[in-house]
Chain A
Amino acid sequence: MSAAITLENLTVTYRRHPALHHVSGEFALGSLTAIVGPNGAGKSTLLKSIMGQVRCNSGRVVKHADAGRIAFLPQQAEIDRSFPIAVLDCVMLGYWGRAGLFRRISVAMVQRAEQALAAVGLEGFAQRSISSLSVGQFQRVLFARILLQDARLILLDEPFSAVDTKTTEDLLRIIQSWHTQQRTVIAVLHDYDQVRRAFPQTLLLARNVVAWGATEQVLCHDNLHRARTMSEAVDEHAPLCAVDVASLAAVAAQGQTS
């Protein structure tokens, strides 16, 4: 299967301390992958480096041409919900990639936006201002916006934090429908049961890759224990990391033979 995104020996640091450490691997086209791991494991950093929002210290992210448009749902804290904008307008921001500054939003496009709102269970909310929504309702709005973006690659950073079970189930169904439409979906999650139920692929991250592959193999007791023992505090006196190119090549060669 061809890849949508390839990570080649990716290292991202904050003040020289790695948040992601020599991460290599690929997200296959049309795959549905959960990224799990303890706090500070570099999950959000990985999504941001795929989006090109943080600088890679070494290595690189390769976005393959047929991966298509990317939609990114960042953690909710980064959006100002007191902004004076109506729900429908907020959803229609999803058209930005195609409509830009000047192109007209047709009646059909407005109808599609209303359908998207209905799909996330928010009929009748179109004219409300977003400041009147609860956290969970606003998350539904953002999902509706992604529906309009019609992206081939969808990145979700903790989409279900502070969202109730009913909403989570609804949103999970939408993620499933994206998967059946052959879109590539990558989501940062915390609930292992949810991951086991809904996500075929899992990347277990603890700054390094602990395991990456089919979910039931990745989320075994051993791996989870290894991820948990990652120390959250950075070692102020850590020596320089010296992974030489030769040994990396050897690791890569091993991966191909196995």
Chain B
Amino acid sequence: MMLLHDVLQWLIGPFQEFSFMRRALVATLALSFSSAPLGVLLTLRRMSLFGDALSHAVLPGVAAGFIFFGLSLPALSIGGFIAGVIVVTLAGLVSRHTELKEDASLAAVYVVALALGVILISGHGTQLDLLHILFGNVLGVDTQGLLLVAGVSSLSVVLIAALYRGLLLESFDPSFLAASGGRGTLYQQLFLMLVVMNLVASFQTLGTLMAVGLMMLPAVSSRLWHDSLPAQLLNSALQAALAGYAGLMFSYYASVPSGPVIIVCAGGLYFLSLMFAPRGWLPRLLRRPHLRA
């Protein structure tokens, strides 16, 4: 009985004791439920690296916000969101009106944006500011930041649910959607806006470079577990939440930066999935007798 009590205390103690831990937990859980499903949809469109590119692309906007308003969360977020939207729109325009495909046009636009961002920050801030923006600080989430994260993830979950059929059809068979009178580019652009919003919302907690980890790692590993999309979406959100919780605990007890630890935990789950999930490596080694033809 004592032991059970101790374990429980160990598991929830940090959150009982410190309000910054509670806020961090709520923020990562909220992000888990919106980012990870978006990540699954990204992998379905074979755009797994897209989130990575976008997370770099928001940097000049964040930098501009930083230059004019200092380390103020709304300024940084709005700046980042605007930069992300501009990059997505530009890349979309380039791919629609020239012969470049979407990934190529995005690859071209985002490196320019990243370079601009680094120039802006290095001209106006210190190295520490740059580190803060790149890697975030989940333990410094204030009420304002929490509201932003909660708002973004609520909006994302509601929109994913409302647009579910369209999003699915647009990534599965875009030419069928176009042929049946659906507006494919509308769904695509809305979807990419959601991705930008989630990356921006998570950059304060995880940093621009780490934000994409919570989006893509659970998404990729969830594909190893299930054949159906709803199951994959749910699985990815749960894995992200688990990684977020475990990461916060580990960072608390070992006193290491929380953002990277959360991502490493997600990476650990990815490794376990690779090994033990039904579509992973170990089940392939089991030679089960085949069925009758």
Determine the residue in chain A with the shortest Cβ distance to B231.
Answer: A84
- Determine the interface band of chain A, counting residues with CB < 8 A from chain B: 20 to 34
Is A78 in contact with chain B by the CB < 8 A criterion?
yes
Question: Which residues of B170-208 have CB atoms within 8 Å of chain A's CB atoms?
Answer: 171-173, 175-182
- B-side contacts of A131, CB under 8 Å: 227
Determine the residue in chain B with the shortest Cβ distance to A155.
Answer: B179
Is A97 in contact with chain B by the CB < 8 A criterion?
yes
Given contacts A84-B229, A84-B232, contact A79 B172 (CB under 8 A): yes
Is B165 in contact with chain A by the CB < 8 A criterion?
yes
- A-side contacts of B181, CB under 8 Å: 97
The smallest C-beta distance from B38 to any residue of chain A, in angstroms, reads 16
- A-side contacts of B227, CB under 8 Å: 84, 129, 131
CA distance A145 to B178 in the complex (A): 15
The smallest C-beta distance from B48 to any residue of chain A, in angstroms, reads 13
Residues of B within 8 A of A (CB-CB), count? 26
- Give the secondary structure class of B's interface: helix
CB atoms of B229 and A85 under 8 A apart = yes
B-binding segment of A35-43, A67-75, A199-207, A219-227: A67-75
Is A163 in contact with chain B by the CB < 8 A criterion?
no
Given contacts A84-B228, A86-B228, contact A96 B175 (CB under 8 A): no
Per-residue contact bits, chain B 202-235, to A (CB 8 Å; 1 contact, 0 not): 0000000000000000000001001111001000
- B-side contacts of A198, CB under 8 Å: none
CA distance A79 to B171 in the complex (A): 10
Determine the residue in chain A with the shortest Cβ distance to B171.
Answer: A83
CB atoms of B165 and A96 under 8 A apart = yes
CA distance A51 to B173 in the complex (A): 15
Given contacts A80-B172, A129-B228, contact A101 B166 (CB under 8 A): yes
